[in-house]
């Protein structure tokens, strides 16, 4: 999909139907900024806007893979204050994320959740085709562990954002993005897999 701003109106529609939803958010950035260049709605602010409108069940929000530079001395402070679980990338380095996803499944329970996956959550060695790459990110195998770890949850929607093919002449980022979307479709409720 496009930039992460698209998640905001999607969550408005889902919350209108289901009430506040849980969120599994994979990203290099928290996307809880307030303004940029005087604008309140931009790709770095969707989840702050969602909190302000009561679209998220904040005790059921998990952000995985967060890292990189920031304009704030504590870039995770806002999310933690809202009740988000923030899992920095360094807590994911060189390990399976299956144990984390067991905890996430328990946290999410049976109520509706949304998966929002920013391709820059992955290391740019695997997905360079994005506008805001950050080094030392997740691997494709970890991305699969996260998505497959959501199987059995009450998923009411999902997205994959920030793929910018013009920044990757190899086409690997688009290939990876397409495969991650396929995996998301496979974990939707009612989908039969072998």
Domains in the chain, ordered, with CATH?
A: 4-187 (3.40.800.10)
DSSP-H helix ranges across 75-134: 77-82, 98-108
Answer yes or no: are the C-beta atoms of 30 and 63 closer than 8 Å.
yes
pTM score above 0.85: yes
Unique residue bearing structure tokens 């195998």: 141
What is residue 194's predicted lDDT score, i.e. its pLDDT? Answer: 77
pLDDT along the chain (194 residues), means of 10: 92 98 98 93 96 98 94 90 98 98 98 98 98 97 98 98 96 98 97 86
Write b or e for each residue in 5-23: b if 16 or more Cβ atoms lie within 10 A of its Cβ, otherwise e.
Answer: bbbbebbeebbeebebbbb
Unique residue bearing structure tokens 């409108």: 53
What is residue 72's predicted lDDT score, i.e. its pLDDT? Answer: 81
Own/partner long-range contacts of 142-145 (Cβ < 8 Å, ≥24 apart) = 142/92, 142/96, 142/97, 143/26, 143/117, 143/176, 143/180, 144/180, 144/183, 145/96, 145/97, 145/98, 145/101
| End-to-end CA, the chain | 28
What is residue 1's predicted lDDT score, i.e. its pLDDT? Answer: 62
What is residue 2's predicted lDDT score, i.e. its pLDDT? Answer: 83
What is residue 188's predicted lDDT score, i.e. its pLDDT? Answer: 98
Nearest to 9 by CA among 114, 88, 80, 83: 114
């Amino acid at each position: 999909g496009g930039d992460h701003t698209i998640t905001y109106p999607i969550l408005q529609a889902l919350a209108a139907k289901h009430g506040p939803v849980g969120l599994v958010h994979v990203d290099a950035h928290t996307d809880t900024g307030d303004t940029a260049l005087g604008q309140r709605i931009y790709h770095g602010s969707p989840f702050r806007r969602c909190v302000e409108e009561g679209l998220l069940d904040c005790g059921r929000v998990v952000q995985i893979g967060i890292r990189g530079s920031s304009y704030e001395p504590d870039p995770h402070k806002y999310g933690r204050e809202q009740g988000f679980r923030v899992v920095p990338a360094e807590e994911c380095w060189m390990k399976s994320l299956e144990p984390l996803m067991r905890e996430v499944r328990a946290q999410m329970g049976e109520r509706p959740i949304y998966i929002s996956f920013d391709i820059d959550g992955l290391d740019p060695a695997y997905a360079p085709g994005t506008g805001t790459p950050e080094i030392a990110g997740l691997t494709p195998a970890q991305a699969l562990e996260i998505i497959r770890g959501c199987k059995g949850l009450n998923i009411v929607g999902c997205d994959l954002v920030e793929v910018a093919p013009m920044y990757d002449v190899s086409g690997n980022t688009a290939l990876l993005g397409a495969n991650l979307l396929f995996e998301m479709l496979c974990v939707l409720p009612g989908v039969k897999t072998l």
